[in-house]
Amino acid sequence: MTHPFSRRTAAVALAAGLVLAGAAGCSSGSGGGEGSTTLRVTLANHVWTDEIKAAIPDFEASSGLTIELTQLGEDQLSAQYNTKLNAGTDEIDVMMYRPLQEGKLFAGNGWLADLGDRVESNAEWDWSDFQPGPVEATTVDGTITGVPIITEREVLYYRTDLLAEVGLSVPTTMEELEAAAKAIHEAHPEIAGFVARTNVSAAVTQFSSFLYSYGGDWVDSSGKASVDTPEAIAAYEMYSGLLHDYGPENLSTDMSWPDAMAVFTQGNAAFYTEADSLYKNATDTTESKVYDKVGFAPLPAGPAGSKPYNIPSWALGVNAASENADNAWKFIEWATSKEMSMTIQQEGVPSARTSVWDDPEGIATYPADLAEAIAVSAENGVGHDRPVVVRVAEAREIVGMPIVVGITGGDVAAEAAKAQTSFESFLESDA
Amino acid sequence: MPSAVSSHTSTAPTASTAERLSRWVNRHRMWVFAAPAMAFVTVLIVFPLVWTLYLSVTDSAGSVSRAKNFVGAENYTSVLTDTERFWPAVGRTAYFTIGALVLELIFGMLIALLLWKPFKGEKWVRIAVILPLVATPVAIGMMWRLIFDPNIGFANYLLSQIGLGPYPWLASETMALPTLIFVDVWQWTPMVVLILLAGLTSLPEEPHEAAKVDGASGWKQFWWVTLPMLMPTAIAAVLLRAIDALKTFDILYATKGKGGGSFHEVETLNVYAYGLSFDYFDYGTASTVLILFFIIIMLIVALLTTRRKVAS
């Protein structure tokens, strides 16, 4: 035995190493026990988040809590929830999520805590102040799973200068929209008459308002698929036809809102239908080349009138596995308070609180025509902008196909019939 | 033998227990030294594989902790008969891999031969050649997406200078995948160059000199002397690149997004499996696709390694 020490050390180190490796594998990483003062908040990239972030130091000072903020893009956020919550993590306390995209699924998975008692606990915070539509969207099977923070409606963005040049007034019907897009595109071939989202999935929400305005919906009153009705086909043809005939040159079917918005803000399109909550991108004096030439109008009416969606795009929920739920609720209460809602709405992010909309202060910072368009849309609005199902992503790809086929000049009616068959069998399997 | 001293009764191991432990370790050193590696393999390779295999025979969806039913081979039959998404994805994966691989080998060989013999400024050329290799794939995806923008991209601007274009590139259903093969070739040819160059430098001089003395032309030297000797290295390069190309995800997702574009035009098996789990939350089907993908990769690796043994 020449080196007893080194051999022994090696053995002990090995054993220790194995034990540690095992422990690391088993540890669930429960860092914050009941009432930990560190609160882990996961938010999406959004103007709303920027405003909240700026105000967090105030909240930390008044509550004595430390906020650990994770901020992610939409898709990364979704992937993050998928991986972490699947593993039953308690490392997320407050979660920003999309009620219409993931709400049903997350609630079904048991990932969202029941907030029923909490929302009623503070009369001053006032749950009844939240608009009924958004509240319905964050309530799953009678359980309140989230507090809506951002609402949006589809409106028409347009270029005041181009419209004036061709001597037309702001379109109030789909036919007028098409005529105006055509006139401007003919006068300026390099400028698109119309732009909107073109990606199969991203376009679905913006197309939904066209669908409703033509008198259609994803499903009929008995819950059966209805994407090949004459109304639906007419709507598909209008949306995709506008893009195919008067859209940007070399149009790709990859455009989500940042791409479509860029076309508009670079001055390359006359009309653009998009969510009102994104209007700051178009009126921003540094980012937008057309900030002083942007007008807003309610969505032009189809045969069934002007029926844009009016939905809560984001909500705050509490991770059901969080061990810090009380503090998580404190944060939500603060972030969705009347004062914060007012401040954030004045920065351009539409709130879900009735009082904020009723107060003239709430829309004082908005362009007057936008405020008017929002008011009209809120009145006629439909409460969903995509099929109301559990597997939303899959459904969007099915009902979006006729849009992209139309954009590329294909047979919309045939594709709608195909989509109908797929959507029917999808609905049967969607539990 | 004295009665055993149980180690847990004392806080520090006594000399005799330590002695015994060390003897035990010595006797079983084969296992002890392999243990960390075995633990690593079990935790990081065997467990995920077995778990995926398990999920692939269930109808797991929504959340993996939800109740799931055993469905046997149902997922496999539905995936293997799926001509809408699965088989086209297999076709695209093969097209992308073979296309990228062939071009990378040809260009890689040409560049490696150029760099083989010393020349002035060789160092700078080598640095320039490996630059694409060190860039982040997602950043590369974003960069080429801008370059290939049909309206404001640099590619069409450049081509318009010589009277060509404009081409839709990534925006076109048919051109998107070839365009991405080009990007992959741009990024990964340097790696093939490095591997082949290492192989070339290690080749003995004598056969070349003998061939030269015998009056063989440059091409004949390459074809009959250099290439056969380089074969094992070339197959190693093919193996590495083939596995990588089969699994390509980042540039596809960064340029075309979810589902490989609206018409799934660049949806390879990897992109499809990702969409199934992260967009559709359909873990059963996703696991099935991954297991099938795994089998395909293993078959290709087996094929290439036997080829390599034959070559060497």
pLDDT tens-digit map of A13-54: 444 444 333 333 333 333 334 578 999 999 999 989 999 999
B80 to chain A, closest Cα gap in Å: 19
pLDDT, residue A7, reads 47
Sign of the alpha-carbon torsion through B3, B8, B12, B17: positive
pLDDT, residue A342, reads 96
Q: Report domain A154-310+388-429's class.
A: alpha beta
A and B: number of Cβ contacts within 8 A: 101
pLDDT tens-digit map of B129-145: 888 888 888 889 889 98
Contact flag B263-A78 (C-beta cutoff 8 Å): no
Q: Residue B5 pLDDT more than 90?
A: no
> pLDDT band at residue A2, thresholds of 50, 70 and 90?
very low
Q: Does B36 touch chain A (CB under 8 A)?
A: yes
pLDDT tens-digit map of A138-168: 999 999 999 999 999 999 999 999 999 999 9
Q: Does B260 touch chain A (CB under 8 A)?
A: no
pLDDT, residue A394, reads 94
Q: For domain A38-151+311-380, which CATH number applies: 1.25.40.320, 3.40.190.10, 3.40.50.1820, 1.10.10.10?
A: 3.40.190.10
Q: Does A8 touch chain B (CB under 8 A)?
A: yes
> pLDDT band at residue A292, thresholds of 50, 70 and 90?
very high
pLDDT, residue A192, reads 96
| CATH numbers and ranges of domains, chain B | 1-49 (no CATH), 83-311 (1.10.3720.10)
pLDDT, residue B6, reads 46
Residues of chain A with pLDDT > 90: what percent? 81
Q: Which residues pair with B137 in a beta bridge?
A: none
Which residues in chain A are contacts of B66 at CB distance < 8 A? 108-109
Same fold, A38-151+311-380 and A154-310+388-429: yes
Contact flag B63-A250 (C-beta cutoff 8 Å): no
Computed over every residue of chain B, the mean pLDDT equals 89
pLDDT, residue B86, reads 96
pLDDT, residue A34, reads 54
A167 to chain B, closest Cα gap in Å: 29
Domain limits of chain A?
38-151+311-380, 154-310+388-429
The average pLDDT across B281-298 equals: 94
pLDDT, residue A21, reads 39
Phi, psi angle pair for B70, to nearest 5°: -75, 125
Contact flag A254-B171 (C-beta cutoff 8 Å): yes
CA distance B259 to B267: 6
B169 to chain A, closest Cα gap in Å: 9
CA distance B190 to B127: 10
Residues 6+ apart with CB under 8 A from A8: B18, B21, B22
Evaluate if pTM is beyond 0.80.
Answer: yes
The average pLDDT across A346-364 equals: 92
- Tell me the CA distances in angstroms from A399 to A44, A100, A302, A422, B265, one per residue in order: 26, 16, 20, 9, 18
Q: Does B21 touch chain A (CB under 8 A)?
A: yes
The average pLDDT across A245-273 equals: 94
Q: Tokens 């995936």 belong to which residue?
A: B79
Of B36, B150, B281, the CB nearest to A252: B150
Q: In chain A, how many H helices and how many E strands?
A: 18, 10
Q: Residue A5 pLDDT more than 60?
A: no
pLDDT tens-digit map of A278-291: 999 999 999 999 99
Whole-angstrom Cα Rg for chain A: 25
CA distance A337 to A331: 10
Query: Which of A2, A5, A7 has the most B C-beta neighbours within 10 Å, making it the best mutation to test the interface with B?
Result: A7
Sign of the alpha-carbon torsion through A377, A401, A189, B159: positive
